[in-house]
Structure formats: C-alpha cells, structure tokens
C-alpha cells in the first residue's frame, strides 16, 4: 500500500482509505446476484468511505458506481430530482453513453429538459415529475453493457425529513415508490441500489410503513476493524511520520479504544504524533493515556458533538432530553439497568422509551449484555462523561 494519509474530517479516499476487504467483497457478491443492498453501521464507522471507494473504481467488473447524498432532501420530487441530476452529471453515465445510443441521444438533448445542469439555468417553468424523468433516464440505458449501481447516502434521514415535512402518508408513499423502482422493468438486470446512512433504516421504515417494503434489500454490516487490522492501520499511520510506540503501549491503546473504527484510532493517533514530536523517543503507556485524555478535550468538540446533536433533529424535545439523560447516566456509571430506563422515561413523560432505546443501540451508542446496557465505544463514553454540555 502507498503511504497512508490520515483522514478525519471527510470520507477517506485514495491513500487515506484503509481497505475494508470483507465489506467490499460482500457487496460485489450481492451485486453478482442482482441484489439491492443496505450498508448498515453506526456513525463514523466508514460507510461513506466505502461508497466513495466504489465510486472511484474504474468500471470494475462491469459496474458503474454513482454516489448520491440526499441528507437535505425533504420531498419526494426533490429526491428524484437529485438522483436525476446527479446521474446526468456523473462520470459513470458519460462512460455508459459511449456504449448506449439511447443514452447518448438523451444526454445530447438534456439541456432542454432539466432545470439546472452544470450551473446553466434552463427553460422549464414548472417543476417536472422527476420520478418519471428518472425512470425515463434509466430506460435509455441498454442491457448488457454494464450495471449502474446508484449509492444513496443518508437515505434513512431522507425518510425522516419527508415524514417531518409532509407527514406519514407522504413518507409511506416515498418508501413504496422506492420499492416499486427497485422492481420496475427499467431496473431489471441493469440497475442496483445501495442505501446507507448515519441513522438506522429499519426503525425509520417500521415507524411509518411496513418492513415488507424493504425486505428485498439485503443488509451488509460494516464492522469495526479486527484487532489485527487496527494494528496495521496504526503501523501505517506511524510509518508516515516515523512515530515509534512501544509494543505494550500499542496493546494498551487498543485495549482502551476497544471499538476499532478508523476514526477513533486516528483521533488518538493524532495526539500521539504531537506527543512524539516533543519527546522524540518511543511512546509508552503513559503517553497513550495522555493522548486519550487530549482526544476527549474540548478542542475536539466538532468531532464528537454531532453524535449527540443529531439526536436533537430526530427526536421530540422530551424524547431528546430522555435519550441524553440515558447516555450521560450510562457514561457516568458504565452500565444502566433496564429498570432505570423505565424510571427515566416516567420523568420525561416518554411513552416510546423502548423505541428510543432500540434506536440508541441500532445507531451504535449502546449495546446490551446480560440485561445491562453500556457504551459501544469507550472513547465516546469518555467524551460524554467529561463534556456534559446539556447539563443533565
């Protein structure tokens, strides 16, 4: 592998992408059997980086990958408008157009039919039906020249947005339109969809519609790194700046992190690199302990606060305060019993506390073991314990 480049703020691409062999192989295995996929993982585990890696592949295996993000979409028509415009402007479609005469003809006249491409304002006065335009676009792709894989990031968030803005009936229609699209004759053998997002899909759908609306989508879980891979990532990071860490200190660091996601490993490593710059000797357990303390300092608020502030947009006020008290209590006490969940729900007048608890587990904050709940990530727990910005 070429020199590895750290990546903390944006999805990792190129030399900053640490290979996720298991997940990528699974994705290609499912695409081979014409499956649609839901890429499942909590925030910051690496879902978007995997999608960007696939987008950067050059027609690998006859697949043309197109990345679309719909996090700020609030209506059904706008969703299909984003898909339509992003496809029209994608490198994959331009490559496909060389092989498909129908698509070539469409692209040559598209400047008269979309409202904006490449910053050029166009002619139509009324907003067209972009669901139908999107289907028409897909119908122009010939069979047998490759398969277009449309990767939709923040799809569960879009469901939530449509529900919040337009109500359950419209959100249900949105979910069902997407199912119909996956089974439409124009997608047969030539189009596949990969969905993902930083909130869980199944609880969003179940709250509004039926899980049968997504039972044709196969889940691929993005796992944390193995301990072996976590060591390899740390080795690559150290190699770049010739940082040396004692073998027992590496083991100590991994024991403390425990949940091996590249984001958290790199956050701690950045502090280790700064410590090494000053010491210029092999780092030990005390240095690792210091680096973790520096990782959860207030200067890194932008890295951690979105874990909690995002809940504010998903939950009602009393539900949010309940969820935060659950998280802060668990951070301070290491575990929480089911009975306490119920007691706190009474305090905050929350009837759907079980749904909220399931959401906190699905989204990677907590997990259950032996009837007790605890943090999935010790690093996130330390941040929440130290920085109770909500004063609960």
CATH of residue 251's domain is 1.10.8
Q: Is residue 189 part of a domain?
A: yes
Please say whether the beta carbons of 8 and 303 come within 8 A: yes
Is the domain of 146 the same as that of 28? yes
| Total domains, the chain | 3
Contacts 24+ apart (CB under 8 A), 226-235: 226/260, 227/254, 227/260, 229/18, 229/260, 230/254, 230/257, 230/260, 230/265, 233/4, 233/18, 233/262, 233/265, 233/266, 234/265, 234/269
Is the domain of 321 the same as that of 365? yes
Is the domain of 82 the same as that of 184? yes
Q: Is residue 6 part of a domain?
A: no
CATH of residue 119's domain is 3.40.50.300
The encoded tokens of residue 346 equal: 């009474």
Is the domain of 289 the same as that of 331? no
> Among 111-120, 223-232, 242-251, whose mean pLDDT is lowest?
111-120
Dihedral of CA atoms 292, 295, 298, 300 in degrees, nearest 10, equals -170
pLDDT in tens, 312-369: 888 999 999 999 999 999 999 999 998 898 999 999 999 999 989 988 998 899 999 9
Is the domain of 45 the same as that of 111? yes
pLDDT in tens, 262-301: 999 999 999 999 999 998 899 999 999 999 999 999 899 9
Model pTM? 0.89
Is the domain of 214 the same as that of 231? no
281: containing domain: 227-295
Pairing of strands 36-40, 191-196: parallel
Q: How many CB atoms lie within 10 A of CB 272?
A: 25
Q: What are phi and psi of 95, to 5 degrees?
A: -70, -40
Q: 3-class DSSP state for residue 69? A: strand
Q: Is residue 391 part of a domain?
A: no
Is the domain of 282 the same as that of 330? no
Residue 80 has pLDDT above 50, yes or no: yes
Q: Is residue 8 part of a domain?
A: no
Q: Is residue 101 part of a domain?
A: yes
Residue the block writes with tokens 């309940």: 322
The encoded tokens of residue 347 equal: 């305090």
Pairing of strands 372-375, 366-369: antiparallel
Q: Is residue 241 part of a domain?
A: yes
CATH of residue 319's domain is 1.10.10.10
């Amino acid at each position: 592998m070429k020199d590895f480049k750290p990546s903390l703020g944006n999805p990792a691409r190129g030399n900053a992408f640490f290979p996720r062999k298991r997940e990528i192989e699974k994705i290609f295995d499912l695409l081979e059997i014409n499956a649609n996929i839901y890429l499942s993982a909590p925030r910051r585990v690496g879902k978007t980086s995997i999608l960007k890696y696939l987008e950067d592949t050059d027609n690998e295996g006859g697949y043309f990958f197109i990345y679309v993000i719909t996090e700020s979409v609030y209506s059904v028509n706008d969703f299909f408008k984003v898909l339509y415009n992003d496809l029209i402007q994608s490198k994959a479609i331009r490559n496909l157009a060389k092989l498909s005469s129908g698509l070539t003809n469409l692209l040559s006249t598209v400047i008269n039919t979309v409202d904006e491409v490449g910053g050029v304002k166009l002619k139509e006065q009324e907003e067209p039906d972009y669901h139908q335009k999107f289907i028409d676009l897909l119908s122009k792709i010939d069979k047998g020249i490759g398969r277009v894989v449309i990767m939709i990031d923040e799809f569960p968030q879009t469901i939530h947005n449509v529900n919040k803005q337009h109500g359950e009936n419209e959100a249900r229609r949105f979910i069902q339109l997407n199912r119909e699209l996956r089974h439409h004759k124009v997608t047969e053998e030539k189009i596949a969809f990969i969905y993902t997002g930083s909130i869980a899909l199944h609880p969003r759908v179940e709250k509004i519609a039926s899980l049968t609306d997504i039972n044709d989508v196969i889940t691929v879980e993005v796992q944390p790194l193995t301990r072996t891979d976590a060591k390899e990532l740390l080795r690559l990071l150290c190699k770049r700046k010739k940082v040396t860490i004692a073998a027992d200190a590496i083991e100590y660091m991994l024991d403390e992190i425990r949940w091996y996601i590249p984001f958290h490993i790199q956050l701690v490593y950045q502090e280790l690199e700064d410590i090494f710059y000053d010491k210029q000797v092999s780092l030990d357990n005390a240095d690792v302990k210091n680096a973790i303390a520096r990782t959860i300092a207030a200067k890194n608020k932008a890295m951690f606060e979105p874990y909690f502030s995002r809940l504010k947009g998903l939950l009602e006020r009393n539900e949010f305060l309940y969820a935060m008290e659950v998280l802060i209590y668990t951070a301070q006490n290491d575990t929480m019993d089911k009975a306490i969940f119920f007691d706190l729900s009474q305090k905050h007048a929350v009837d759907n506390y079980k749904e909220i608890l399931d959401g906190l587990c699905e989204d990677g904050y907590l997990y259950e073991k032996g009837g007790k709940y605890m943090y999935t990530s010790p690093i996130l727990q330390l941040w929440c314990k130290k920085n109770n910005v909500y004063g609960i």
